[in-house]
Amino acid sequence: MNHVPTVSLTAGAEMPLVGFGTHPLRGDDARDAVLTALEVGYRSIDTATRYRNQDGVGAALAATPVPREEIFVTTKLPPDAVGHERPTLEDSLAQLGVDHIDLWLMHWPPGGSAGVRSWREMIRAREEGLVRAIGVSNFRLALLDRLEHETGQRPEVVQLQWSPVHFSPRFLEVNRQRGTVVGAHSPFRSARLDDPVLVRIAADHAVTVNQVIVRWNVQHGVAVVPKSARRERIATNLDVLGFQLDDAEMAAIDGLSELE
């Protein structure tokens, strides 16, 4: 089995760079897909209170022979939980059937704000060992700065919709300098999978375009969470360690960015 590379988060957790995304799977579909993902080698599972599938993910965690300590579990605090952070975390722990979360993300900026009130509660949860790492999702750089300014604690991970069309070298570099790992959700949904550049590179390596996108993220140090409900694709999306993109290929994919 290939060993997925990991990245060290600032509070000490080791996060696999390829995880399994579970949105929008629910119930038994979520359980079955997570079990498949763990079976084929994933060791990072990404869920959220909003996905309403933590019970299914929890059922898979209970059923898998893979030890809990080998699985990196991410879930997310919804923005309407301001003032209700602890009960929401307790509900996540109960549904997932775990005594700690490996990474707890603020899912969206509450009302477009930095969510300092929630962030303080997340820091407290990390101090109490209920979560190993904390971060945010769908946040702009200015909001990360705001959290650090208000609390002295910068998010360990910032997850956002990220694919070649969203590539921002500045966002990546600033976060790298400040110790925040960038995470990619929806890596395929937002990509142009028929782009000739991606198709050509995939053909050159005899892999799929999806594998190229996952590999491109890994080489950038971006933690990516591809999702599929089909066993073959679940396995393929993880099978990205047998090839390497060279500098020209990485630059060509970076060049697909459509950001201004």
Residues at the site binding other proteins, with contacts judged by CB under 8 A = 50, 52, 78-80, 82-83, 107-113
What one-letter code names the amino acid at 231?
R
State which residue, 108 or 188, has the beta carbon closest to other proteins.
108
State which residue, 50 or 220, has the beta carbon closest to other proteins.
50
HSE-up of 252 (CA within 13 Å, CB side)?
15
State which residue, 10 or 161, has the beta carbon closest to other proteins.
161
CB of 87 to other proteins, least distance (A): 12
CB of 244 to other proteins, least distance (A): 36
Separation between Cα atoms, residue 93 and residue 84, nearest integer Å: 15
Known catalytic residues? 51
CB of 25 to other proteins, least distance (A): 13
Q: Is 54 exposed, middle or buried (0-12, 13-18, 19+ CB in 10 A)?
A: buried
CB of 110 to other proteins, least distance (A): 5
Chain-centroid distance, C-alpha 82: 22
Q: Which residues contact 180 (CB under 8 A, 6 or more apart)?
A: 135, 144, 154, 155, 156, 157, 158
State which residue, 84 or 100, has the beta carbon closest to other proteins.
84
Q: Which residues, in sequence order, are bridge partners of residue 185?
A: 161
Do β-strands 14-16 and 6-8 pair in parallel, antiparallel, or remain unpaired?
antiparallel
